[in-house]
Structure 1
Amino acid sequence: MEKNELNINNASLQDGKTLGIISYLTWIGLLIAFIKNRDVKSPFVNFHIRQNLGLFIVGILAGLLRFIPAVGGIALYIVFTLLFIFWIIGLIGAIGGKTTAVPVLGDMFQNWFKGIQ
């Protein structure tokens, strides 16, 4: 009996990791992870959904930088490079089963989107 409970726990952890990874795969993956997690309500998946949602929204807002003459393109390049690095950090955390927030903005994302449960 104990063995079955352990397998269920491992299976639910694996499902959580899978949904956490899926949440980082474009906005469609984010939507899929959000919908599939509504029934399960995994705190691990919720954490990674909040992280990637924050990165996605910051990326959209950063796109507005291109309208700034002269320095907008350079600023946009720098911001998108940082967002890509943060995205990789988040994805590696999801693959490793960790809930480490992305640098600089990760804790803010958790507060801003705490309604996602």
Structure 2
Amino acid sequence: MSNKTMAILAYVTIIGWVVAYLQYKKSSDRNPLVNYHLGQSLGLIILTFILGIVISIVVSIVPSLYFLSLILSVLSLVFLLLGVVAANNEVIKPLPIVGKLFEGKFNFVS
């Protein structure tokens, strides 16, 4: 599997992330592109999961705020697509708005 494919696969669900991570660990050349996108996608997955739980609690208390979950879903999808585009272009660039939060946080990936 090529480095570009592993970087793209990291953004495709948690199963895709696990497959990309295992392939990255198995490969002899540890490309910084794959390492970076593994960290960005893991951060996005964790952030989306945590915000999803928080939004669910808020919506259960105030049902009229249901649109917040829709906004979260759309933003999550947009960030995911931007990550895939960056990985496809082989660019090491953080995701907009939230990407700087994840840089250097997941050193276990390397």
Q: Does the TM-score normalized on the shorter chain lie above 0.5?
A: yes
What number of residue pairs does the alignment pair up? Answer: 104
In the alignment, is the contact (CA less than 8 A) between 1:23 and 1:30 conserved in 2? yes
Equivalent AA in structure 2 for residue 16 of structure 1: N
The match for 2:82 among 89, 108, 117 is 89
Match of 2:20 in 1: 33
Equivalent AA in structure 1 for residue 37 of structure 2: H
Pairwise CA distance, 1:42:
1.6
Match of 2:106 in 1: 113
Which runs of no fewer than 5 residues in structure 1 stay unpaired? 1-13
The match for 1:55 among 29, 44, 50 is 44
- Root-mean-square deviation (CA, aligned residues, Å) is 1.6
Structure 2 vs 1, CA of residues 71 and 115 (structure 1 numbering), >3 Å: closer, same or farther?
Answer: farther
Q: Which string of whole-angstrom CA distances, capped at 9 and with x for unpartnered residues, describes residues 15-73 of structure 1?
A: 11011111111111100111111133221101111111111111111211122123542
Which structure: larger Rg?
A: 1
Higher RCO (CA-CA < 8 Å; seq separation 6+)? 2
Which runs of no fewer than 5 residues in structure 2 stay unpaired? none
In the alignment, is the contact (CA less than 8 A) between 2:3 and 2:34 conserved in 1? yes
As a proportion of its length, which structure holds more helix? 1
Distance in 1 (alpha carbons) for counterparts of 2:76 and 2:69: 10
Residue 42 (structure 1) aligned with residue 35 (structure 2)? no
Match of 1:24 in 2: 11
Q: Secondary structure in 2 aligned to 1:20?
A: helix
Identity across matched positions, percent: 26
Equivalent AA in structure 2 for residue 61 of structure 1: I
In the alignment, is the contact (CA less than 8 A) between 2:52 and 2:72 conserved in 1? no
